[in-house]
Chain A
Amino acid sequence: MWIYEKKLQYPVKVSQCNPHLAKLLIEQYGGADGELAAALRYLNQRYTIPDKVKGLLTDIGTEEFAHLEMIATMVYKLTKDATKEQIKAAGLEEHYVNHDLSLFYQSAAGNPFTATYIQSKGDPIADLYEDIAAEEKARATYQWLIDLSDDPDINDSLKFLREREIVHSQRFREAVELLKEYQGQKKFF
């Protein structure tokens, strides 16, 4: 089971109402390399992965939900007090006619979230290499978001999230090393 804690992992502040930036950030909410995909990928893999790696997948998967909440907070704060004029100027009319200002799991280009963003091969090495790649892709996405955003407070939170991808990738690389070991095997050669 999961327990909710009523706090963000890292503070999120927004300098100004900017619905266009929210439109870009939604990539990390419901995009292919976003936080939802990451959380679901790791928490799904853990059932069939060798025991040594179950804890890591559970913990990183859980942390990803904390990151999802940070992205949601940014999107919410950037759009909450937007006027109809600002919504139109930001190109959010298509979103507005379907969703008002409620959040939706989609990419920045408007593609709805799909389970096909996530692979599940059941081969521990293949699965962990997917995880390493996912972390590096998410790191890159945060870089491109920082490049396009001129909100210093948002960039502060995005830099935190980018750094987390680097640490997660490190841990998945270590997990691969653990799986290479013979230690604890019943059958010796």
Chain B
Amino acid sequence: MKKRKPNPYRDQYRVWYPFHSPDDPCPPIAKQYVVPPNQFLGFQPPNLPQFSKHEALIKGTLWPIFYSPYPPKKWRDKDGT
């Protein structure tokens, strides 16, 4: 399957796999962390698209570009792919 180039505003989580020793007592868990959109935008440009008033309060921001869902949709996927 062809891999889509990730979009940092939409694909906000990263996955990594700590070394797993055969002697480790628990089964391994893939580690995930969030990289929020404020790491990419720089100084906010004017006239970005906005949420409606209603939507903005629900989302916690007026600008969709800053929206960071938690947990992200694929958060529960085992290997995060």
- A residues contacting B by CB (< 8 A) are 10, 136, 139, 142-143, 146-147, 159-164, 166-167, 169-170, 173-174, 177
Bound complex: CA of A118 vs CA of B55, how far in Å?
A: 34
B36 near A139: Cβ-Cβ < 8 Å: yes
Asked if B43 is at the interface (CB within 8 A of a chain A CB), the reply is yes
Contacts of B60 in A (CB 8 A): 10, 159-164, 167
Bound complex: CA of A8 vs CA of B21, how far in Å?
A: 50
| A170 with B41, Cβ < 8 A, contacts A160-B60, A163-B60 known | yes
| A169 with B38, Cβ < 8 A, contacts A146-B70, A159-B70, A163-B66 known | yes
B76–chain A nearest beta-carbon distance, Å: 11
B71 near A163: Cβ-Cβ < 8 Å: no
Report which residue of B41, B59, B68 has the largest number of chain A beta carbons within 10 angstroms of its beta carbon. Answer: B68
| A167 with B61, Cβ < 8 A, contacts A143-B70, A146-B71 known | yes
Give the interface size bracket for B toward A: 10 to 19
Bound complex: CA of A142 vs CA of B70, how far in Å?
A: 10
A167–chain B nearest beta-carbon distance, Å: 5
Listed A/B pairs (9) with beta-carbon separation below 8 Å:
A139-B36, A146-B71, A161-B60, A163-B61, A163-B66, A166-B38, A166-B61, A169-B38, A170-B38
Bound complex: CA of A70 vs CA of B10, how far in Å?
A: 29
Bound complex: CA of A159 vs CA of B37, how far in Å?
A: 15
Bound complex: CA of A15 vs CA of B42, how far in Å?
A: 39
Bound complex: CA of A169 vs CA of B71, how far in Å?
A: 19
- Residue-wise, chain B 37-80 has the 8 Å CB interface mask toward A (1 for contact) of 11001111000000000000111110000111011000000000
Contacts of B44 in A (CB 8 A): 170, 174
Known A10-B60, A177-B42, A177-B43; further 10 A-B contacts with Cβ < 8 A: A10-B57, A139-B36, A143-B70, A160-B57, A160-B60, A163-B60, A163-B68, A164-B61, A167-B61, A169-B36
Bound complex: CA of A94 vs CA of B12, how far in Å?
A: 40
Contacts of B43 in A (CB 8 A): 174, 177
Contacts of B71 in A (CB 8 A): 146-147
| A166 with B37, Cβ < 8 A, contacts A146-B71, A159-B70, A177-B43 known | yes
